[in-house]
């Protein structure tokens, strides 16, 4: 397969999937090495196509105007040990956490891709944090952070906000 055809196949595969796809899965599908995929992704990015690497794999960033879901940002604040409660409040009410964003005094906006849409995803994320002993981005800002939330409609989003409010996890100035 020609490299340009392979790169078009990668973009096509990412367009069809909202969930991240690992380089290993793409490599197996296209019968090349994982390293070839990593290089292809770099070349695809260089053409201006917005692909993000997440802990679970690559995801094509679709402009919010092209996404049919209801997408909004929310401001939250909590201690690290309340993270599970926050994640469950969102996914149990039909939301997906797209990312986490903090405002760093030196670097400006720092964003981490999450793509957490279920308790299973949330538990995997929390296990990875615990196993790696990594700090949450929100620890850089004493717990204050933003999330981009995607869900089916405004009613579901309002239900998520209500649950986060009940749990005292929304940022209030």
The pLDDT of residue 63 is: 59
Is there a single domain that holds both residue 45 and residue 87?
Answer: no
Query: CATH no. for residue 10?
Result: 1.10.10.10
- pTM, two decimal places: 0.70
- Collapse the DSSP code of 35 into the 3-class scheme (helix H, G, I; strand E, B; otherwise coil) and give the result: helix
How many domains, the chain? 2
Is there a single domain that holds both residue 79 and residue 48?
Answer: no
Domain span including residue 154? 70-166
Per-residue pLDDT of the chain (173 residues; tens, 9 = 90+): 899 999 999 999 998 887 889 999 999 999 999 999 999 998 898 888 888 888 788 988 865 445 688 999 999 999 999 999 999 999 999 999 999 999 888 888 899 989 999 999 999 999 999 999 999 989 889 899 999 999 999 999 999 999 999 999 999 76
The pLDDT of residue 109 is: 87
The pLDDT of residue 35 is: 92
Query: CATH no. for residue 110?
Result: 3.30.1340.20
Is there a single domain that holds both residue 100 and residue 53?
Answer: no
Residue written as token pair 């100035």: 173
The pLDDT of residue 67 is: 66
């Amino acid at each position: 397969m020609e490299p340009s055809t392979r790169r078009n196949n990668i973009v096509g595969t990412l367009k069809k999937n909202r969930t991240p796809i690992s380089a290993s899965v793409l490599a197996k599908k296209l019968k090349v090495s994982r390293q070839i995929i990593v290089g292809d992704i770099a070349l695809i990015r260089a053409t201006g196509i917005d692909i993000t690497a997440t802990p679970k794999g690559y995801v094509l960033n679709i402009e919010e105007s092209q996404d049919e879901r209801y997408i909004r940002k929310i401001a939250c604040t909590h201690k690290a040990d309340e993270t599970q409660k926050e994640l469950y409040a969102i996914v149990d009410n039909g939301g997906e956490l797209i990312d986490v964003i903090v405002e760093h005094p030196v670097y400006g906006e720092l964003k981490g891709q999450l793509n957490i849409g279920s308790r299973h995803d949330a538990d995997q994320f929390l296990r990875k944090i615990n196993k790696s002993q990594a700090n949450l981005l929100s620890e850089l800002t004493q717990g204050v952070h933003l999330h981009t939330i995607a869900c089916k409609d405004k009613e579901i989003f309002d239900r998520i906000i209500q649950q986060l409010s009940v749990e005292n996890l929304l940022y209030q100035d």
